[in-house]
Amino acid sequence: MKTSDETAVDDAADTSAADRSSLACLFADFVSAPRSTWFARVVDARSSHQDRNRPYVTRLVLLVTLIIASAAVGFPWFGWLFFIPGALQVALEIYLEPIMRHRYEAVAQRSSTGRDGRRQWYWRAVRVWYRNYEKFLPNVTSALGVVACSLQLTLVLVFLEPPTTDRGWVKVLALATAMMYLVSGGLGPLMGPATYSPSNGLATPVLRSIRLLWIPIPLLLAVIIAARPGAWGEALPYALMTLGLGYYVGLRQREFDRAVTAAAIVRDQINEENVKTAALEYHALTQPVKGSLQEAARRVANPMTRMELEHYIANVDFIHEQAQRGRLDPRRGLLPPIEELLRREAQNGAVQLDTNIRLDPGLDPKHHQMVAAYLRTFVSNSVQAYASLMPDQFGHVLATARQEGQNLVVEVRDTLPLIPDGVLANSHTLGGISRHLSAVGGSLRQDSMPNGKVLRATWPITVPLRHPEPRSRQ
């Protein structure tokens, strides 16, 4: 399963091919929600920076309007109870919005055991919620929304008094307000990060069925209204026309999908142009001193320094060559393939290196960069340890990377003794990696083998798209 930011671009390319048929373009993006990190990030940014409280205040205005219009028409005393779920939903949404927007990332970094003693349960609960932010459509407020919309429509369709001649429009207004509340509440989860995230646990057919509910619901309401024409009198045609508001859900979803997909294509093109320009300018900037660096590499006495200079020159030449040929891939960075980087690390010592890198071509760039960084660090540590502990022996290192289910596994095996626990936990390199993996739900561990050890880093592919660092309030 692809989890790359570029999955949306791939989907868009497929859709564009289908759009060459005038008939296919009508249905190419009819019900499918593109699942990609690109879509999920755009939706998350929109809700966090643009929408914020706007949908919740809109629902509050609609709820107040519905109460006033319904009261003007008249309903039994127990009808007031039908507004309680909506009031609770709006109140919770407005109250929780700043908490979730400002504190999600900071809370996620806290230890799952908590640091405040008495509030341990609070941090643990919010951390669990953060980890599942993109995986599930329903939450407390959306459950209240389902109940609120159902009760409000039931009140309007069943329990409101028949309209008088001069107040027929008021009952239609109540129906229109209830429909707009339904539209507003439905668009919340249907256009939220969970719908578009690859981490969503719902099967694609189930998600498509949920996105198609906007088709049968207005039809069902039309049948209910038409079955009780006396409850609407002369306002019956206008009541049926009002149900058309329910189809705004589908139109809004489809327009959003198409707009974000088109933006992903443009973004990809701009990224490639910018990366190519930067690479060529970087090469032009370093070209005047390239000869001096080569001369310095030949004369420097320290073999480690000489190797680093040679690697730097090789990287500059690689970047320039790829840029000229149009082969630079922004998703994989500017450096050579992982195998080449590891081979260079192994050249720093008397080590035989074998690699077995099996990564999905559609792997998210951030995960790809993590794999490369961790493998380079682990191999470098093994090379240095061989030089320190076994200077007269020829070492052997096996570096592997693979996907196991929803987890990425990076391993480096060597014939060295175990790393002391204090070094593994507190060193600047391995300790930093261990802490970062813990922040994204992964782990760093080592196991003893008959002829050495294996250092293993594991982390989930479906890490939250929200960054661990607290987001700025500006």
pLDDT digits (tens, 9 = 90+) for 331-355: 666 677 888 878 877 877 778 889 9
pLDDT recorded at residue 376: 85
pLDDT recorded at residue 256: 83
pLDDT recorded at residue 280: 80
Contacts 24+ apart (CB under 8 A), 175-178: 175/239, 175/242, 175/243, 176/242, 176/245, 177/62, 177/65, 177/66, 177/69, 178/66, 178/149, 178/152, 178/153
Is the CATH code 3.30.565.10 the one for domain 348-474? yes
pLDDT recorded at residue 121: 65
pLDDT recorded at residue 125: 61
pLDDT recorded at residue 241: 93
Residue 38 C-beta-side C-alpha neighbours within 13 Å: 27
* Residue spans of the chain under pLDDT 70: 1-34, 99-140, 199, 201, 303-304, 307, 329-334, 462-474
pLDDT-above-70 percentage for the chain: 78
pLDDT-above-90 percentage for the chain: 23
* pTM metric for this prediction: 0.63
Domain boundaries, the chain: 7-266, 348-474
Contacts 24+ apart (CB under 8 A), 83-89: 83/151, 83/152, 85/144, 85/145, 85/147, 85/148, 85/151, 86/59, 86/144, 86/145, 86/148, 86/151, 86/152, 86/181, 87/63, 88/144, 88/148, 89/59, 89/141, 89/144, 89/145, 89/148, 89/185
Query: Backbone phi, then psi, for 452, in 5-degree steps?
Result: 150, -140
Over the stretch 112-156, which tens digit does the pLDDT of each residue have? 444 444 456 665 665 565 555 556 656 667 888 889 999 999 999
pLDDT recorded at residue 100: 65
Asked if 145 contacts 89 with a C-beta cutoff of 8 angstroms, the reply is yes
Over the stretch 276-335, which tens digit does the pLDDT of each residue have? 787 788 778 778 887 888 888 788 777 657 767 777 777 778 777 777 777 776 666 667
